[in-house]
Amino acid sequence: MKKEDFKNIKILYVEDDDLIRENALEYLNRYFDEVYEARDGLEALDIKEKVKPHIIITDIQMPKLNGIDLAKKIREEDTQTQIIIATAYTNTEYLITAVELQLVKYMVKPILDSKLLQVLESCISSIKDDKSNIKKIASNTTFDTFNKTLFVDSQIKKLTKNELLFLELLCINSQRAVSYDQMQNHIWYDSYMTDDAVRSLVRALRRKLPKNSIENISGIGYKINLIS
pLDDT in tens, 4-38: 778 889 999 999 999 999 999 999 999 998 999 99
Q: Which amino acid is at 49?
A: E
36 in the same domain as 112: yes
112 in the same domain as 25: yes
- Gyration radius of the chain's alpha carbons: 19
15 in the same domain as 95: yes
User: Please, are residues 109 and 87 in contact by the beta-carbon 8 Å criterion?
Assistant: yes
148 in the same domain as 187: yes
Residue 211 pLDDT > 90, yes or no? yes
How many Å apart are CA 159 and CA 4, to the nearest integer?
22
The CATH number covering residue 104 comes to 3.40.50.2300
Per-residue pLDDT tens over the stretch 37-67: 999 999 999 999 888 899 999 998 888 898 8
- Give Cβ neighbours of residue 126 (< 8 Å, ≥ 6 apart): 82, 104
114 in the same domain as 140: no
141 in the same domain as 218: yes
125 in the same domain as 62: yes
pLDDT band at 68 (very low <50, low <70, confident <90, very high): confident
Range of the domain at 158: 132-224
CA atoms within 13 A on the CB side of 204: 17
What 3-state DSSP class applies to 4? helix
How many Å apart are CA 131 and CA 139, to the nearest integer?
16
**Number of compact structural domains in the chain:** 2
CA–chain centroid gap for 126, Å, is 14
173 in the same domain as 111: no
